[in-house]
Structure 1
Amino acid sequence: MDISFRKIDVDAYDEDVLLETELYDPDPRDPQQVIDDAKAKAASVRTSLAKSDTLGALVTVLDNPPYGSNVEEAKNLTLQTIVTVLNNTKATDIPNVVKSLSSEAQDTLMKYLYKGMGLPGWGDVSGSVLLGWHEKLTEVAGTGCIVRAMTDRRSV
């Protein structure tokens, strides 16, 4: 039985195929610049956390996140930085921090929460931390935040 037809990429023959690059504008920065920015943010976040400024650390790391397919190293570094902030925040402080974020920052945080949950074994973060932040973020931002995070084509 001939099954070679299953190996044909039919999208290669479709004129109307929608490419990921057509869905959103890529990050205008050079990939090396994106990595350098992520490293600078990580250092700034460590400084803010040393001063017990959780909100400042979270705002810093959520501002202008790396998007695109050629900046995976910067995306992973940003995720690790966010996980550090989440782990260093007391559960009683989470609602106030979430309320102080802009709606765009809340949506970006939701994307990172889902990215963290999508890691095999959830990486180096406890599931209870991610779920706790998800719960508080959903209480403040509503379910619209979840929908915007899931439907946005720009992946973090």
Structure 2
Amino acid sequence: MDVNFRKIDVDQYDEDVLLDSELYEADPRDPAQVLDDAKQKATAVRSSLSKGDIVGALTLVLTDTPYGPNVEEAKNLNLQTLVTILNSTKATEIPGVVRSLSQDAQDTLMKYLYKGMGLPGWGDVSGSVLLGWHEKLTEVAGTGCIVRAMTDRRLV
């Protein structure tokens, strides 16, 4: 039995197909600049963490996050930087840190938590850390944060 028909992209025949590029505006920055910005953020975050400024480090990594096509390396670097912050935060400090974030930063944090949960066997990320942050973030920001993170087309 031939099942190759299942591999045909039927959307190519539909003139009303909706493309990802039509759903949101792409990041206007050049991919090389986005990667450079992510590297600078990682350095600044390490500096903030050495000073014990978790809120500042988290705010820094959650602003101007890379999104869109052709910036996968910058996205992964930003995720690694965020995971470093999450791993270095004590469980008792999480609610206070989450409360100090803006709503947009909370939504972006939720996107990163789901991205981390979606990576099977990913290096230094622990499921218990991600679930702990998810629990505290949901308590503070509510379920609306989850809905906004899942429906936003700008994937981190």
**TM-score, scaled to structure 2:** 0.97
The list of structure 1 runs, each at least 4 consecutive aligned residues, that deviate by more than 4 angstroms after superposition, is 1-4
Which residues of structure 2 form unaligned runs of 5+?
none
Count of matched residue pairs: 156
Amino acid paired to 1:141: A
What's the RMSD between the two structures over aligned residues?
Answer: 1.0
Match of 1:145 in 2: 145
Amino acid paired to 2:70: N
Q: 1:140 and 1:76 mapped to 2: Cα distance?
A: 26
Deviation at 1:2, TM superposition (A): 5.0
Q: Identity rate of aligned residues, in percent?
A: 79
Contact 1:116–1:123 (8 Å) recurs in 2: no
Deviation at 1:126, TM superposition (A): 1.1
More deviation in 137-146 or 1-10? 1-10
Deviation at 1:95, TM superposition (A): 0.4
Deviation at 1:123, TM superposition (A): 3.3
Tell me the SS of whatever aligns to 2:42. Answer: helix
Which residues of structure 1 form unaligned runs of 5+?
none
Deviation at 1:7, TM superposition (A): 3.2
Q: CA offsets, 1:10-41, max 9 Å, x none? A: 11110011111111000000000000000000
Match of 1:94 in 2: 94
**TM-score, scaled to structure 1:** 0.97
Q: Does 1:84 align with 2:65?
A: no
Q: Does 1:8 align with 2:5?
A: no
Q: 2:137 and 2:2 mapped to 1: Cα distance?
A: 52
